[in-house]
Structure 1
C-alpha cells in the first residue's frame, strides 16, 4: 500500500473515532504509518473535520470556561488577521483565537467586537443555556453565536462528554439549535454517541431532529425573558428524547438482545448443572484412579 493510501486509511479511522478515544486511534495508526512527519502532514485536515463535527471543546486562556470548536465558531476570512491563521470565536469572552487541532489548545487571543444590535439577545440566550447546563448536564459546555450579518438568527450549541475507560465505556451528547426570530422558529439536531468496549465493541449512534414554533409572545418579549422561555422549550424536547432513548434501551435489553441468543442448547433441553458437576467430578476421579494404577504397576 502506497503512502497516500495509508494516510487516507488512517484519516478514515480517525473520523470514526469514538468519544474520547481519538488519541488511542492516533497512536495505533502511528504504528501503522511509521512516519510521524508524513502522518502529521496528512491527518491535520481529518483532525480539523473531526473536531468541528464533534464539537470539541477548548480551554480559553485568561478565563475559567471552555468554548466549542465548530463551523459556527469559525470566523470568516474577512474577519481574520494574518495569512494562514484560521481564527475561532469564543462569544462568551468576546475573544478570537488560533486553535491547534492536534494539541487542542487556543493561543493568540484577540478582542472581538460583536454586532451591538444582536448582542443583547445572544447574551441572554447564553445566560439561559448556562443555567440549563448546570441543571441537566455533567461538565457540559455551551456556546451561542450570532450571525454577524443576518439579524435575529442565532446558533446555540451544547456538548457533554463522559469518559469512563476504567469501565470500558464513553459517550458524547451534542445538540445544535438555530434560533430564527424572523420566522419564529427553532430548528434543532441532537446527536448521541455511546461506545462500550469491554471484551467487545458496541456503539450506539443516533440523530434526532427537532422543530419548535415560537409563540409570538416569546419573540416580542425582553431578551432575558425570551432566552429563558426558549431554553424551557428546548428542555422539554430534549427530555422527551432522553425518555425515548431510555425506553429503547429497556426494550432492547428485554426483547432484542434476548432474541439474538439461543434460549436452549442444541439438545433443546435445559442443562442440569448438578449433573454436569457430577460428571466432571466422576471424570476427575476416573482420571486419578487411572494415574494411580499406572504409577503403582
Structure 2
C-alpha cells in the first residue's frame, strides 16, 4: 500500500469514528501513516468534514454557552485548516482549527437586523425545548445565507461513557423556509457499544412539515413556539419508534439467532466443559449434551 492509499484509508477510518472517539482513531491511524506531517496534511479534509457533519461543539473563551461548528455556521475559510464560524447566541465569530480542535480570535458579529427578531424567537423556543428533553444538549439557531426568511435550527447532544464501553450522539437539523411555509429536517443518531465486541448503530430520519398559514402570520414568539411544538411531536414519534424497534430486537431478532438453552434445556457449565478431555471423559458425559 503506497502513501496515498494509506492516507485514503486513514481518512475513511476518521470519517467513521464513533462519537467522542475521533482522537483515539487519529492516534491509531498514526501507525498506518508513520509520518505526522503527511498525516496531518492528508487527513485534514476528512477532519474538516467530520467536525462539520458531527456538529463539533466548543466553548469560546469568556463565553459560557457552547458553540456548534457546522457548515451552516461557517462564514469564512482561511489558510492552514482554520475557518471562521459564527455563534449567533453570543453574537460572536471565531476561528476554529480542525486539527487541534481549538477556537481563537473571537470578535463581535452583528446579526442581520431584518431576520434577527424571528431568529431570536426561534432560539428562545429551541432552548426551552432543549432544557426539557436533552441532557447537556447544545443548540444553534442561524439566519440562513440564502434569504432573510430562511432559518436553520441545529441541536446536538453527546453522551460519552467509556468506563462502561459506550458512547452516543443525537443530531437534528431543521431548515425553516417562511417563503414557502415548510420545514425540512433530519435526525441522526449514532451509538457505539464496545464491551467485549463492537456494535454501532447509525440512523437517519428525514422530516418534512408544511406550516399552516396561521403559524407563519403570527408574531415571532407565537410562530416559533408552534414550530418547536411540531418538531417536538415529530421527534417524540421517532423516539418511540426507536424504543419499539429495540424492544422487538431484544425479544425476537436476537433471540432468533441462537437457542437460549441446549436441547437438554439445562445450562452448560462452561468451566467444566473446558476441563473435559477429548476421549473417555467426553464419552462418559454424553448426557450433558443430549446423548443417550
Aligned to 2:57: 57
Evaluate the alpha carbon distance shift between residue 120 and residue 25 of structure 1 in structure 2; reply closer, same or farther with a 3 A threshold: same
TM-score, reference length from structure 1: 0.87
Cα displacement (A) at 1:76:
5.2
Q: Does 1:141 align with 2:143?
A: no
Instruction: State the partner residue of 2:286.
Output: none
1:27 aligns to what SS in structure 2?
helix
Going from structure 1 to structure 2, the CA distance change for 1:56 and 1:239 (only over 3 Å counts) comes to: same
Q: Which has the larger radius of gyration?
A: 1
Q: Distance in 2 between matches of 1:41 and 1:13?
A: 16
- Mapped partners of 1:32, 1:75: distance in 2: 34
Q: Which residue of 1 aligns with 2:7?
A: 7
Q: How many residues align?
A: 275
Q: Which residue of 2 aligns with 1:251?
A: 248
Distance 1:272 1:255, change over 3 A: closer
Match of 1:35 in 2: 35
Is residue 69–residue 85 contact of structure 2 (8 Å, CA) maintained in 1?
Answer: yes
| Mapping for residues 110-259 of structure 1, pairs under 5 Å | 110-259=107-256
The 1:150–1:273 alpha-carbon spacing in structure 2 relative to 1, beyond 3 Å, is closer
Deviations 1:108-161 (A, max 9, x none): 112222210001100110111111111100110010111245121100000000
Is 1:269 equivalent to 2:240 in the alignment?
Answer: no
Rate the CA distance shift 1:262–1:75 in 2: closer, same or farther, 3 A: same
TM-score, normalising length: structure 2: 0.88
Q: Deviations over 1:20-53 (max 9, x none)?
A: 1111111111122221111111111110000111
> Which residue is 1:71 aligned to?
71
Q: Is contact 1:59-1:105 (8 Å) kept?
A: no
What is the CA RMSD across the aligned residues, in angstroms?
2.3
Counterparts of 1:272 and 1:127, CA distance in 2? 57
Stretches of 4+ moved more than 6 A in 1? 81-84
* 1:184 CA displacement: 1.1
Return 5+ residue gaps in structure 2 as ranges.
282-292
Q: Does the 8 Å contact 1:115/1:148 carry over to 2?
A: no
Please list every run of 5 or more consecutive structure 1 residues that lacks an aligned counterpart in the other structure.
287-297
Task: Find out whether 1:25 has 2:21 as its counterpart.
Answer: no
Q: Aligned with 2:167: secondary structure?
A: strand
- Aligned to 1:232, the other structure's residue is in SS state helix
